[in-house]
Amino acid sequence: MSSLCFEAFSCRRLLLRITAIPFCPGFVDIAACVAKKSISLTFTGVFSLKSWYNRDMLMKKIRKTIKEHELIEKNMHIVLGLSGGPDSVCLFHVLLRLRRELGITVHPVHLNHRFRPGAAEEDQAYVESLCRENGLECRTFVVDCNRLAEEQGMTSEEAGRMARYDAFYSVAEEVAERLADQEQQAKADVRSRIRIAVAQNADDQAETILFRLLRGTGVDGLAGIAYKRQERGFQVIRPLLDITREEIEAYCDEQKLHPVTDHTNELPVYARNKIRLELLPYLEENYNPNIKESLTRLGRIAADDKDYLWQTAESAYRELAINTAAAASFGKSTPETAGGEVLLDRRGLRQLHRAIRHRVLLKAFDQVGLGSDISEERLTSADDLIEAGQGGKVLEFPHGYRLTVGSGRVRIYRER
């Protein structure tokens, strides 16, 4: 039979056993369809189970992610990065569906990178039109990212990311100022009610972990993309991190969203594109057909280890920090520590396991303003200096930061 009629509840139970299977019309019998891992069940020839799956099961998975990782609470303001591609358009549509349920306010932000003259302007027009159709204002920023990359001495990818997040944080600050004025509160008090949402998905997670593995990374890098992180006073969230690219594209098709396509994503010109277009398909075909799932599982395991190691490092940092302001401010940069110094007890630091000692040092540098660009080689050199305990020795870190040992203390600061 080409159209099978079942009661709704029976179909739903059957669907739970058949996940994300593509549409394939005109089957002779259900057993053959299941054997081909492809099925289409129709209620009176109108409603397909695949459509029901795309819409409701995807929403269920996203709600689960939001709840498990505490990404969004009621009455929050969500600053959404909206490029116009399938991922961000899917997230835009999902957030609109959650508006009434959660009482959230969505603030779409689009960045025209000027990478693709003509096409970039078409993408901008599409996003602005999509927002108008849904009664929302789109904040659009236009940045020549190629020029920015040249000025800053970075790749165009890095410049694009920097420009995007600058735009997101700028709008988040505007929302915070407006809320603070309306409610007569300090801006710092309303920041916790604002989230910056970006649309990385499960495929992005697998690609990121593989990319970092190829470059050489530790447990923190293998943990991949975090569901949420705190940066510049705001929390950045990723509600689609458990959703595959295939599910997102199917959802967009079913909802007739018509997102734009960036043809440069299909060109193997960047390292990440090569991983997505060439390396992962090769690994799937020749080594592990479930390589993406394996990589994301590795990421979850590493993330648990990362959390435990950092919790242990936090306890150690609080015990070893000699200056009170540094000890009290673990996890956040404050006026007392940012741009100042951190003093640590050398003997206690020396007794720590290397994995914990390195994290304590990383946090100490973060406290005084250096949150990245610290290599494993530098940390190993710091180990040698701390072990030797020779006073007056200075170890240089990037951007003018220093580590010195003397009088039973390890001093971390920036040279003025």
User: What are the beta bridge partners of residue 77?
Assistant: 105, 194
pTM: 0.81
pLDDT reported for residue 323:
76
Distance of alpha carbon 150 from alpha carbon 159, whole angstroms:
9
Check residue 204 and give its pLDDT.
97
Residue 51 is predicted with a pLDDT of 54
> Torsion-angle region of residue 42: left (phi > 0), alpha (psi -120 to 50) or beta?
beta
- Six token digits for residue 401: 């930061």
- pLDDT of the chain along its 416 residues, tens only? 443 333 333 344 434 433 333 343 333 343 444 444 444 444 434 444 455 556 789 999 999 999 999 999 999 999 999 999 999 999 999 999 999 999 999 999 999 999 888 999 999 999 999 999 999 999 999 999 999 999 999 998 899 999 999 999 999 999 999 999 999 998 888 999 999 999 999 999 999 999 999 999 999 999 999 999 998 899 999 999 999 999 999 999 999 999 998 887 888 878 889 999 999 999 999 999 999 999 999 999 999 999 999 999 999 999 999 875 555 554 444 433 445 899 999 999 999 999 999 999 999 999 999 988 899 999 999 999 999 877 778 999 999 999 999 888 999 999 87
The per-residue pLDDT for 22 is 39
DSSP three-state, residue 401: strand
Q: Is 273 exposed, middle or buried (0-12, 13-18, 19+ CB in 10 A)?
A: middle
Count CB neighbours of 123 within 10 A: 21
Cα–Cα distance between 349 and 313 in angstroms, integer? 11
